[in-house]
Amino acid sequence: MIKVIKYVWLDILQNRIVLAYTVFLLVVSATLFGMETNPSKGLMSLLNIVLMVVPLISLIFTTIHFYNSYEFIELLLAQPINRSKLLLSEFAGVASSLVTAFLVGVGGPVLYYAPGATGAALLAAGVALTLVFVALAFLASVCTRDKAKGIGLALLIWFYFGLLYDGLVLTILFTFSDYPLEKAMLVLTTLNPVDLARIFIMLQMDVSALMGFTGALYQEFFGSALGSLYALGVMGVWIVVPIWAAVRVFCKKDL
């Protein structure tokens, strides 16, 4: 597995896309902090980048990389290599490279301008979202051989979690506004890793009061140690389940 991860890293470094992604994050992060005298405002502005750009780049880059490496994967499978170990090695190589890019591009400015619990929460959420959407991208890629369909499916995943899901939640809230939906909102939050990361970071910024009664509910649950462990556990599930499903599909798939 170590050799495969090494080859994945070398292949990623050759196309320089991850390097460009790192520079983009570094420039944007430094610019946002430089424009604000209050580091908290810089973190709020950077939050939108983390929640929207990081999942999108993770999905698109992973999907394109998988299809570009398909011949290499077929060549390795001609050797006595376990399919599950091969796919997990690919996942480890791509995920570690994107996580490194995020930590360098965002982590440097955050540690310089806004060290502390809030900055650490932002970095942790960004790393978790990177791993989640890399796993989802692998699942989308192994489900279809067609590159265009795979990229389209990845874009649909981003559109659903990033934009459409919040609209569906608001529709449910307006439709069933006469009923107690406090516990239902907690469940709906865990069904979207982007929302879960957003709420986790905003609670660290002490802006839950701006979210009304729902914010008080989130503060009561996610603000506790048990709530934080629950959020981390749910993120772990969002990482493990898609890559586990991708491994099962890949092992049964006729290449």
Contacts of residue 15, Cβ cutoff 8 Å, sequence gap at least 6: none
- Count of Cβ atoms closer than 10 Å to residue 125 Cβ: 25
pTM equals 0.90
- Distance separating alpha carbons of residues 190 and 167, to the nearest angstrom: 16
Q: Which residue has the higher pLDDT, 206 or 44?
A: 44
As a whole number of angstroms, the distance between CA 56 and CA 139 comes to 15
Q: What angle, rounded to 10 degrees, do the helices at 147-159 and 117-143 form?
A: 140
Q: What is the dihedral of CA 75, 76, 82, 86, to 10 degrees?
A: -110
Q: What domain range includes position 203?
A: 2-252
Q: Count of domains in the chain?
A: 1
* Interval 192-213: pLDDT, tens: 899 888 887 877 776 544 444 4
> Residue 163: is its pLDDT beyond 80?
yes
